[in-house]
Chains A and B, each alone.
Chain A
Amino acid sequence: MSSLAGKKLFPHKLLSAFMLGLWLLINNTIAPGHWVLGLLLAWAIPFFTQSFWPQSMVINRPVLALRFLLLVLWDILIANVQVAFLIMGSRQKLNPAFMRIPLELKQDFTITLLANTISLTPGTVSVDLQMEEGYLLVHGLHIDDIDQAIADIKTRYEKPLKEIFECSNP
């Protein structure tokens, strides 16, 4: 049996909370028994697998994180309607473009979140990530001004993500 020395009791608090929520949702109940079982699993799984997850994730600005989530949901709603009109409208008017978004983010997890956000909002899909050169290649369905679109993505999505996850002293 591997030694338990040097292991933290709660290595990933956020992951644990997420797993408890997931457990309750999967079982679709808030019965006390499931709280107990869920809490046990939410503690045990991160505890015994902690050597696989060396980097712990910390949310520095919870309020900003909530605001970011709502902003993304709202953008998905708006962009969906816009892209629906683009698809139904004239195909000849579309101006597709590739964009290179220079990345300021450093951690894998945050970059994944940014790429996912870009793909989820209709009209833009992230297609390639170049870590060495530090940019994300994004395809846009209808882009009038490439520089403007890049600046929009950077201020709207990258800046909050950086503040939420990567700045330890905001």
Chain B
Amino acid sequence: MSFATEVVISLFLFLGACFALVGSLGLARLQDFFMRLHGPTKATTLGVGGMVIGSIIFFTAGEHELSLHELLIALFLFITAPVSAHIVGKAALHRQLPCEERTKNVPWAEGEKDSVDIN
């Protein structure tokens, strides 16, 4: 493997790690539950994406044949991550967890309790 390929691979790994880190930081430092929910969606998209691309280049260059099954990791994450985020968010809605005062349009602030029923 040439030096240039190694640099490209490390760049992608670094980029992915950076986005995963920012996602975790968001999870830790944002104020309310619903805002924190935004952190993990970042980590699963670009964070994993960068590492997957790095892995594809590494195995393709190392074994001299195209290796694409890493794409499946991204595919399955793209299918499952929003579903889990949706369910967690829905549970939070049902429990009417406190959110920041700045939040606009809070569904249960308008006296519409029935709008957060779990159906």
Contacts and interface: CB of A to CB of B under 8 A. Distances in A.
Interface residues of B, number: 45
A87 B72 contact: no
Contact of B78 (A83, A115, A120): A120
Interface in A120-160: 120, 122-123, 125-128, 130-132, 137, 139, 141, 143, 146
Contacts of A100: 105
B86 A127 contact: yes
A34 B13 CA distance: 31
Main secondary structure of the interface of B (DSSP, over half): helix
A41 B67 CA distance: 22
Given A84-B42, A87-B29, A98 B115 contact: no
Interface in B36-85: 37-39, 41-42, 45-46, 49, 67-69, 71-72, 78-79, 81-83, 85
Given A25-B69, A128-B93, 15 more contacts: A87-B26, A96-B103, A115-B82, A118-B82, A120-B78, A120-B81, A122-B41, A126-B82, A126-B85, A127-B34, A127-B37, A127-B92, A127-B93, A128-B89, A132-B119
